[in-house]
Amino acid sequence: MIPLEVLETARKELTDWRSSGMSVLEVSHRGKDFVECAAEAEAAFRRVLGVPDNYKVLFLQGGASAQFEFIPMNLAAPCDTAAYINTGQWSKKAIAAAKRQGLESIIVADEAASSYTTVPAAGSFEVPADAKYLHYTPNETIGGVEFGYVPQTSVPLVADFSSTIASRPIDVSKFGVIYAGAQKNLGPAGLTVVVVRDDLLGTARPETPAVFNWKTQAEADSMLNTPPTFGIYLLGLILRWIEETGGLTAMADRNLAKANALYKAIDSSDFYSNPVAADARSWMNIPFILADSSLDQLFLSEAKEAGLVNLKGHRSVGGMRASIYNAMPIAGVECLIDFMNDFEKEHA
């Protein structure tokens, strides 16, 4: 979801942006107005996330999936070693990309034994000292599995924050690289945010495409070529909405209250269940299954009639999944819980 207030602002401004007589969709990315807009979005991102001065914030394209490939290309030579934690489907894609890029990727922890319903205990894995970085997925969007801690390691920590960025305060200084497709919590599809510590710039392989070379893009303020202008504009509006609604501390309170309410409803029922270990439950993506999966289709169609959509679990796992990103109000979660209770009464 994108906050309704933000969509309404965008609609109001769509045909005449900053009194230019033009839409933000029409202006040049090199024009003064857009350059200012991008600088404001970056400044807001730095304020909201608390990004220290020795980090660059890049606005790129290609999604988090492109970064799966460009992380190895920017940080390691072929045949170098990198460490990966495997907590599920997005981790696996990142690992596969590292292999494609020639890395010796060492899986330092793999949660296969729990069918990816857990995260490794803090301190339970060892990262080889020669690893160029340690990669992990703080929130596995499909499995609904989330780290409750930031792994400690002496090598640069690289984190795929696609589905949990800006859901709560984080200490950016613990990370070497944070990256996220913006479309889940920060904006529309088409914008990818990469936050990278200065000392990790300049190690890209020579064949790295220039538009995906973090150093080249940092030097060009992410405007080596045309950036995803509408995404950057909307990111700025969404960050302003986060600030106006109390910043990430208030966001965390709301997100935790939403997640707790839904987990409580699931746990207090024999009809619904969530398989994830208590200390690894996601605040953002809550998968659940019905005791009788033959009712899945009926659940989805009655939910749709009640105005509740996008509840079908990822095609690879089935069941249901409630993605309750930043912009989902608590009322949306309460509405889902009421519906689930009614459905259970009728069909259990």
Ligand X SMILES: *Cc1c(COP(=O)(O)O)cnc(C)c1O
Residues labelled catalytic: 90, 160, 184
In the complex with ligand X, the residue whose CB is nearer, 135 or 258, is 135
Between CA 12 and CA 15 the distance in angstroms is 8
What residues from 165 to 194 belong to the interface with ligand X (CB under 6 A)?
A: 181, 184
Is residue 69 near ligand X by the rule CB under 6 A? no
Q: How far is the CB of 144 from ligand X (least distance, A)?
A: 11
In the complex with ligand X, the residue whose CB is nearer, 69 or 344, is 69
Contact 158, 175 (CB under 8 A): yes
Among 174, 341, 209, 157, residue whose Cα is nearest residue 262: 341
Is residue 162 near ligand X by the rule CB under 6 A? yes
Count Cβ atoms within 10 A of the Cβ of residue 168 and give its class: 0-12 exposed, 13-18 middle, 19 or more buried: middle
Enumerate the H helices of 125-246 as residue ranges.
214-219, 229-244
Is residue 9 near ligand X by the rule CB under 6 A? no
CA count, 13 A, side-chain hemisphere, 107: 15
Is residue 235 near ligand X by the rule CB under 6 A? no
Strands (E), 129-201: 134-136, 139-140, 145-146, 157-160, 177-181, 192-197
Between CA 176 and CA 216 the distance in angstroms is 18
Is residue 64 near ligand X by the rule CB under 6 A? yes
> Of the candidates 118, 163, 213, 217, which one interacts with ligand X according to CB under 6 A?
163
Residue 241: alpha-carbon gap to chain centroid: 18
- Collapsing DSSP states into helix, strand and coil, what is residue 8? helix
In the complex with ligand X, the residue whose CB is nearer, 27 or 67, is 67
Q: How many CB atoms lie within 10 A of CB 297?
A: 10
Token readout for 316 is: 């690879």
β-pairing, 157-160 vs 272-273, is unpaired
Is residue 65 near ligand X by the rule CB under 6 A? yes
In the complex with ligand X, the residue whose CB is nearer, 190 or 319, is 190
Q: How far is the CB of 295 from ligand X (least distance, A)?
A: 28
In the complex with ligand X, the residue whose CB is nearer, 179 or 288, is 179
Q: How far is the CB of 64 from ligand X (least distance, A)?
A: 4
Q: How far is the CB of 179 from ligand X (least distance, A)?
A: 9
Q: How far is the CB of 91 from ligand X (least distance, A)?
A: 8
Among all chains, which residue has been given the structure tokens 């796992």? Answer: 317
Residue 270: alpha-carbon gap to chain centroid: 31
- Collapsing DSSP states into helix, strand and coil, what is residue 312? strand
Enumerate the H helices of the chain as residue ranges.
4-13, 32-49, 63-75, 89-100, 214-219, 229-244, 247-267, 296-305, 330-347
Q: How far is the CB of 22 from ligand X (least distance, A)?
A: 29
Q: How far is the CB of 308 from ligand X (least distance, A)?
A: 21
Looking at 19-27, 62-70, 170-178, 323-331, which segment touches ligand X (CB under 6 A)? 62-70
Is residue 160 near ligand X by the rule CB under 6 A? yes
Looking at 15-23, 150-158, 160-168, 267-275, which segment touches ligand X (CB under 6 A)? 160-168
In the complex with ligand X, the residue whose CB is nearer, 3 or 63, is 63
Is residue 141 near ligand X by the rule CB under 6 A? yes
Task: Show the binding pattern over residues 96-135: x = contacts ligand X (CB under 6 A), - = does not.
Answer: ----------------------------------------
In the complex with ligand X, the residue whose CB is nearer, 120 or 339, is 120
> Of the candidates 45, 70, 84, 90, which one interacts with ligand X according to CB under 6 A?
90
Enumerate binding residues for ligand X (CB under 6 A).
Answer: 63-65, 90, 137, 141, 160, 162-163, 181, 184
